Amino acid sequence: MISARKMAFAVHRSALDPVHSDGDNPHRSIEIRERRKLPVATDIAQPNERPPTTRIELAHQLLFRVDLLASLLGNPSIAAEIQVLKRQLARGHSILSARPEDNQFLSVVTLIEAALASLTWKGYTSVVLDALRNAITPALREGAFPFEESEAIRRYFKSVGIATIPCIDLTHSEHDDE
- 91, 51 in Cβ contact below 8 A? yes
What does the alpha-carbon distance between residue 148 and residue 29 come to, in Å, rounded to a whole number?
58
Report field, pTM of the whole predicted structure over 0.85? no
In whole angstroms, how far apart are CA 111 and each of 39, 60, 146, 154?
30, 18, 15, 7
pLDDT one digit per residue (tens) for the chain, 178 residues: 555 544 444 444 444 444 444 445 444 444 444 444 433 444 444 545 688 899 999 999 999 999 999 999 888 888 899 999 999 999 999 999 999 999 999 999 999 999 888 887 788 888 999 999 999 999 999 999 999 999 999 999 888 888 777 666 667 555 544 4
Other CB atoms within 10 A of residue 68 CB: 14
Collapsing DSSP states into helix, strand and coil, what is residue 29?
Answer: helix
Q: Give the CA dihedral 91, 93, 99, 103, nearest 10 degrees.
A: 150
- 116, 85 in Cβ contact below 8 A? yes
Other CB atoms within 10 A of residue 106 CB: 20
